Amino acid sequence: MGLLSRETIMAAIEALRFREHSQIEEFVLRFGLEDAAGSGGIAPRTAALMAYIVHHSDDKGPNGSALALEVVEYVVDELVSRERRASGLRYRGEDGRLYLAAP
């Protein structure tokens, strides 16, 4: 098992709150998990993704790091982006640092 616990991985996937199959498809394509998503409704497909990532957490992700780590990084970035869009805050930072600035 890698750096992240199964609970962390599962919570990260749950935090994405997939509501549509298109959201799952985008996630699957982003991480090359076409064979891992299973079939059926959103809940079984989400569970299949969780199980795959938990059992293959140390496999290389698309960026060369551990799959589970890349997934959690993506989830954090996605949740921050959603919050930013909802709150009207914008990021700026040509130096690579994250800043919050009022619109």
Rg (C-alpha) for the chain, rounded Å, is 15
**Is residue 102 domain-resident?**
no
Which residues, 6 or more positions from 5, have their beta carbon under 8 angstroms from its beta carbon?
none
**Is residue 38 domain-resident?**
yes
**Is residue 99 domain-resident?**
no
pLDDT at 39: 87
Which residue blocks in 1-103 are alpha helix, DSSP H?
6-16, 21-31, 42-55, 67-87
**Is residue 13 domain-resident?**
yes
**Is residue 24 domain-resident?**
yes
What is this structure's pTM? 0.78
Q: Domain limits at 17?
A: 6-92
**Is residue 48 domain-resident?**
yes
**Is residue 66 domain-resident?**
yes
Residues in the chain where the model's pLDDT stays below 70: 1, 88-103
Secondary structure of residue 20 in the 3-state scheme: coil
Query: Number of folded domains in the chain?
Result: 1
Which two tokens mark 56? 């293959």
**Is residue 101 domain-resident?**
no
pLDDT at 51: 96
